[in-house]
Amino acid sequence: MKVEFSEEALQQYKDILQRYPEKRAALLPTLHLAQQEFGWISREVMQYLSELMDIPVTVILDTVSFYTMFKTKPSGKYHIQVCSTLSCALRGSREIYEHLTSKLGIQAGEVTPDGKFSLVKVECLGSCGTAPVVQINDDYYEGMTPEKLDKILDELE
């Protein structure tokens, strides 16, 4: 499969470039854009960006590997992030995580065989007032209990 930005993404990329005095500074926003466009940052994506931005592919890999939000392997249709920081742990995030591993049959960093769910443990999502918190794709779910979580997962197509 050939990796290439859509016309719309290409336009967004050009807008990003204009904001900075040098190309390298556009790398992070371009990687965010690429992740939105392709779902994850594969070697092919890095190769494409390297040619597009005229930045060596090793430099791109160097940056990608530093930041945890850039996915270097595909995630499930629903990407579940369980906050496992202290403030969530004090309110039961470990039970939430264990419930998910037994329900989905996968561990952190894995994807279900049908590609529907992927699971990761993350650090503070910044919603500690109503812990524990689970983020599914872009949405936060708070005050989680195994029962609430079951209901949410069952409703996801």
Partner 1 sequence: MVSSPSEKTKIVVGMASCGIAAGAGDVYNALKEKIEKENLPIVLEKTGCIGACYREPLVEVQTPGLPTVIYGDVSVKRLEMILEKHVKNGEVLANWVVKGEGIHTSEDALFEKQVRIVLRNAGEIDPERIEDYLSRQGYQAIRKVLLNMKPEDVINEIRNSGLRGRGGAGFPTGLKWQFARQSPGKEKYIICNGDEGDPGAFMDRSVMEGDPRSVLEGMLIAGYAIGAQEGFIYVRAEYPLAVKRLQIAIEQARERGFLGKRILGTNFSFDISLKLGAGAFVCGEETALIASIEGKRGMPRLRPPFPAVKGLWGKPTNINNVETFANVPWIILNGAKKFAALGTEKSKGTKVFALAGKIKRGGMVEVPMGISLREVIFDIGGGIANDREFKAVQLGGPSGGCVPANLLDTPVDYESLNQTGAIMGSGGMVVMDDRTCMVDVARFFLNFTQEESCGKCTFCRLGTKRMLEILERITRGEGKPEDLDKLEKLAYNIKKGSLCGLGQTAPNPVLTTLKYFRDEYEAHIFEKRCPAKSCRDLIGYRVIPENCTGCTLCARVCPVNAISGERKQVHYINPEICTRCGACYEVCNFDAIEVFSPVELAETVDE
Query: What residues line the site for partner 1 (CB under 8 A)?
Result: 19-29, 31-32, 62-63, 66-70, 85-87, 89-92, 94-95, 98-99, 102, 123-131, 133, 138-143, 146
Q: 2 vs 79, which CB is nearer to partner 1?
A: 79
Q: Comparing C-alpha atoms, which of 105, 108, 115 is closest to residue 68?
A: 108
Q: 1 vs 147, which CB is nearer to partner 1?
A: 147
| Least distance between partner 1 and beta carbon 124 (Å) | 4
**Tokens 């050939």 found at:** 2
Query: Residue 74 to residues 43, 60, 120: CA-CA distances in angstroms?
Result: 12, 18, 13
| Least distance between partner 1 and beta carbon 2 (Å) | 26
* Token pair in block for residue 37: 């466009």
Q: List, in order, residues 6 or more apart from 79 with CB less than 8 Å away.
A: 117, 118, 120, 136, 137
Q: 2 vs 85, which CB is nearer to partner 1?
A: 85
| Least distance between partner 1 and beta carbon 31 (Å) | 7
C-alpha span between 54 and 51 (Å, rounded) = 5
Q: To 5 degrees, how large is the angle CA 101–CA 104–CA 110? A: 75
Q: 110 vs 142, which CB is nearer to partner 1?
A: 142
| Least distance between partner 1 and beta carbon 157 (Å) | 18
